[in-house]
Amino acid sequence: MSKTSRTQVTVPASAKKNSIIEIRAIVQHDMESGFRYTESGKLIPRDIIRVFTCSYNNVEVFKADFYPGIGANPLIIFTTIATESGTLEFKWLGDDGYAAVNQARITVV
């Protein structure tokens, strides 16, 4: 059974063909680093999002590997070329079977 959480993506609804668009993606996740201890001195195990990918009409156009040094509720801002109208799909995969997916449609004129 995979666990999941809320995500939010910001993609322009429309763009000129071959223009560069900015994409923002943020996800709700504690990103437990694995370097913290409980009050009784027990190590809290690592529990983070490991990989983020963005696909544009099923072609992967961006990927990021996250390590414990990424802050809680990870935000990533990157760019891509608006090649054609279609769907951008965003995936987050992490420890303990974590998985989250979000989508955005873009119209390229």
Partner 1 sequence: MKKQINFPLKMHRRYWLQRFQKFGLFTLGAWLSPSFVFAKKEDADEAIQKITGNAKIQDGRVTLTIPPLIENGNLVVLKVSVESPMTANDYVKAIHVIAEGNPLPNIFTVYLTPRSGTANITTRVRLADSQRVWAIAQMSNGSFWQGSAETLVTLSACTEMV
Partner 2 sequence: MRLATSLCFTAFCCSVLLAAPASIAANTKQSSYELMSAENKAMQDDPSFNPAMFWVAEGESLWQTKLGPKNMACTSCHSDAKKSMRGVATQFPKIVKGKLQTLEGQINQCRSAAQNAPALAYESKALLALTAYVAVQSKGMPIAVKETSANQEQLKKGRQWFNERIGQLNLSCAQCHEDRSGLKLGGSLIPQGHPNAYPIYRLEWQTLGSLQRRLRNCMSGVRAQQFEYGSPEMAQLELFLMWRARGMPLEAPGVRP
What phi, psi does 95 have (nearest 5°)? -60, 160
Q: Which long-range contacts (CB under 8 A, 24 or more apart) does 60-67 make?
A: 62/23, 66/31
Of these partners, partner 2, partner 1, none, which one is at the site of residue 28 (CB under 5 to 8 Å by kind)? partner 2
CB of 103 to partner 1, least distance (A): 18
Say whether residue 108 binds partner 1 (CB under 8 A).
no
CB of 56 to partner 2, least distance (A): 20
Structure tokens at 44: 């809290």
**Chain-centre distance of CA 57, in angstroms?**
17
Q: With beta carbons less than 8 A apart as the criterion, state whether 55 and 92 touch.
A: no
Interaction residues for partner 1, span 4-33 (CB under 8 A): 20-21, 33
Of these partners, partner 2, partner 1, none, which one is at the site of residue 57 (CB under 5 to 8 Å by kind)? none
Segment interacting with partner 1, rule: CB under 8 A, options 2-10, 60-68, 84-92, 100-108: 60-68
